[in-house]
Homo-oligomer: A and B are copies of this chain.
């Protein structure tokens, strides 16, 4: 048994495997990982490619002894801003603490390469299990998770056909239910403000949900105007202004999350557009902000605390050897407040409203 085998879980790729694949010595792999200045750029690139291909993560022997627990779990979330993930994460952490587990969190800025690197860092630093957001990530990240045999859960998302263990909710169905309510109120021209759906399965599912509701109501898909922007209040405001320049003007603007909706509401107020009198605005997530906006935001209520708590329980079980359970779907529903109403009897541009 090569010496480095003692540093890794049974079956996990070893330093020797990396060396063989990169066609260098194990000493060179070690230098490339630990003192990169001592190897050429080309050698380092070859070694890192092998590390990625094999899903190798050095771990300083921490997980070598099954009994030698680090009692550290990790989470990688897209952003710490805007409290989108904060409440669920707090519940996750609180539940882990009951079992003496400390949570370390990294934030990927919605960048898949950054998430992959952070997953590797958390495993290397001894994380025994990982909470991740959504299904979209690099193939290398999934390969790393599988080969290192780290228990992990996908949260904030649920898909019937998803091949990965998860605790989440059906983003598509939730957005479809809200959009169906909007359409039922008589809105014919809809706007949608969304984050870039590339690499973000939650955003993609929410867009699909709006389209599905329109199709179910027999509406022309051209009656939906979509604006993309980063998740930020300022982005939501600017996107709302662009939608208000469209003719015929949308009488309802659905937003991919509450932060974007907060921006839209702010822009409407600045432009003297009454909500919901002139235009209805909806959100998604039901973060604490939603209820204190003026008007209070109609949105999709996500059970953040329950999701966090149950994810913790499942991951603790998985660490103890339980198999990954089938995906657990939590119920979500519309939180009715003041920002959604019927369309105006006459649209702004003088054309008849719905």
- What is A's interface to B at a CB cutoff of 8 Å? 34-35, 60-62, 65, 67-72, 74, 79-83, 85-87, 89-90, 93-94, 97, 102-107, 109, 114, 117-118, 121-122, 124-126, 232-233, 262-263, 265-266, 269, 288-289, 291-294
Contacts and interface: CB of A to CB of B under 8 A. Distances in A.
A121 B60 contact: no
A233 B105 contact: no
A102 B86 contact: no
Nearest to A34: B68
Nearest to A62: B60
A106 B117 contact: no
Contact of A90 (B60, B68, B87, B107): B107
Given A60-B62, A62-B60, A292-B262, A35 B81 contact: no
Contacts of A233: 288, 292
Contact of A102 (B97, B118, B126): B118
Query: How many copies of this chain?
Result: 2
A327 B49 CA distance: 42
A246 B234 CA distance: 39
Given A104-B104, A105-B106, A233-B292, A89 B83 contact: no
A67 B107 contact: no
Given A60-B62, A83-B83, A269-B294, 17 more contacts: A35-B67, A35-B69, A60-B126, A70-B124, A79-B86, A79-B90, A80-B85, A80-B89, A81-B83, A102-B118, A104-B104, A104-B105, A104-B121, A105-B107, A232-B288, A262-B292, A294-B294
B105 A34 contact: no
A122 B89 CA distance: 18
Identify which of A80, A81, A232 gathers the most chain B CB atoms within 10 Å of its CB: A80
Contacts of A97: 114
A122 B103 CA distance: 10
Contacts of A90: 79-81, 107, 109
Contacts of A288: 81-82, 232-233
A168 to B, nearest CB: 19
A69 to B, nearest CB: 7
A11 to B, nearest CB: 21
5 contacts: A70-B125, A80-B80, A82-B83, A97-B114, A232-B288
A188 to B, nearest CB: 29
8 A-B pairs with the lowest CB-CB distances in the bound complex, closest first: A60-B60, A125-B125, A294-B294, A80-B86, A104-B104, A81-B86, A102-B121, A34-B68
